[in-house]
Amino acid sequence: MKNIIISSNASGNGKTTVTLGIIKALVKRGHTVQPYKIGPDYIDSAFHSSIAGIQSRNLDIFLMGEDGVKASLSRGKSDYGIIEGVMGLYDGTGIDTECSTAHVARLLNIPVVLVLSPRPQVATLCAEINGLVDFDNTPIAGVILNNVGEDYYRLLKASIERNCPVPVFGYLPYDESISLESRHLGLVQSSEVTGLHEKIALCSDRLEKYVDLDEVLKCCQASEASADDFHLPYTGLNIAVALDQAFGFYYKENLELLEEAGNVTYFSPSQDDVLPANTQFLYLGGGYPEVFLPELSGNPKMLESIRKALSDGVRCYAECGGLMYLTDHIDGSSVAGFFNGSASMTSRLQNFGYATLEVTAANRLLPTGLQVNCHEFHNSCVNTDEASIYTVKQSRYDGSVKQWSEGYVKNNTLGTYDHVHFFGNLEFVKALLYGT
């Protein structure tokens, strides 16, 4: 598989639009495309999957480790691997380049194409490009300019190719019809965008017209062979996974591990009446339960089915939106009512970013002392009198450490705001599935 990374100098400059346009253009040319997203994001990945017809994978060094990232890349078997970066090229876990797009590019030996949306500038843009090229020995193959007119593009192209050591592959003119709408956790989900495929088809047409895609593809680097030691034995466990518009935040590799371990059935908490028959393990992932609250709260049969199953001891792992769903109320509307307490939306992010959790309280699901890298990204708070089992620590730029309590165990259910990639710790998922 031949790979390229699409990055930028900052968020909001068109990485996702260009990535989706390239994926669609390649599909229209008859190629298969394996999409990837660097970092912990679920929403961009869902857009990739919808356009490519192949589920996107994440490449996150902090959550997965370097070996996990290599293994995830190796699972792609398409003609091309199109990889969208995260934030700016060199932005990672803190004030250095650790776990950044550049870190992944160097680890996997994959060239980077920069998508830049220039402000009123010419030579200054060249200085920025040279700074990106020279900063940390990252293989930058070239530049695509976004949201510029033809005359401005010609001026910028002449200046960049005189002053910078990288080519300009072309540009995308400003076109509001191909823009993607956002909400509090990022882009509005792909499943909610009316006419998404028509919108991205138009974007791919623009790319084919204004960008030399053949030159971009010449820069793609073939994958190197990597070990993949991230597997679980099959035990025949009946596993139910919530998957609909309210619950869609899952890492592809997490689901693959569950599918290796047992018999996975996907269901909709908003549309189905009851849990799949003979469920022995339930996975409630993150998503937007607060957006689809009328559908969730208005499905009392499913709420009762889940509440009864968990009260009877069915094992369950509920992440973020899943945790909210298992409380008594979300913003006053009744939900599953398994955990005592309620969830409410706030106006800002809570405990945002990478962190490391440690199991510090004895419980029936996870061994004490277990440490797992995790990520939090939510605007809600849960108020509960359930006892917590995690101590979560987040290192700060000034050397200080932010610390909070998390993770609630009741019967055989773990509810938490912390998103975990199972590649980061197989012992974590084994304990959840099979017990300590």
Instruction: Give the three-state DSSP class for 309.
Output: helix
The pLDDT value given to residue 187: 57
Taking residue 245's Cβ as centre, other Cβ atoms within 10 Å add up to 17
- 369-409 pLDDT tens trace: 999 999 998 789 999 999 999 999 998 888 899 999 999 99
Catalytic member of 126, 320, 374, 381: 320
The pLDDT value given to residue 181: 59
> Which contiguous run of DSSP H or E holds residue 101?
helix 101-108
* Range 23-51 average pLDDT: 94
Residue with tokens 């400059």: 13
CA atoms of 432 and 6, how far apart (whole Å): 36
* Range 301-328 average pLDDT: 97
Q: Where are the domains of the chain?
A: 2-222, 237-434
* Range 114-133 average pLDDT: 96
* Arithmetic mean of pLDDT over the chain: 93
Q: 320 catalytic, yes or no?
A: yes
CATH of range 2-222; options 2.50.20.10, 1.10.630.10, 3.40.50.300, 3.40.50.10780: 3.40.50.300
| b/e map 53-85, b = 16+ CB within 10 Å | ebbbbbbbbbbbbeebbbbbbeebebbbbbbbb
The arrangement of secondary structure in 237-434, i.e. its CATH architecture, is 3-Layer(aba) Sandwich (3.40)
- The per-type count for the chain, helices as H runs and strands as E runs, is 13, 23
**CA R_g for the chain:** 22
The pLDDT value given to residue 199: 83
More confident residue, 349 or 263: 263
Residue with tokens 């609630």: 408
- 207-218 pLDDT tens trace: 999 999 999 999
- 183-238 pLDDT tens trace: 445 555 555 666 777 888 888 999 999 999 999 999 999 988 899 999 999 999 99
- What separation in angstroms does the CA of 342 have from each of 100, 335, 339, 383? 36, 9, 8, 6
The pLDDT value given to residue 159: 98
The domains spanning 2-222 and 237-434 adopt the same CATH topology: yes
The beta strands (E) that lie in 251-361 are given as 262-267, 281-284, 286-287, 315-319, 329-330, 333-334, 342-359
Residues in the chain: 436
The pLDDT value given to residue 179: 64
The pLDDT value given to residue 22: 96
Choice among 91-100, 173-182, 227-236 with the minimum mean pLDDT: 173-182
pTM of the predicted structure, to 2 decimals: 0.93
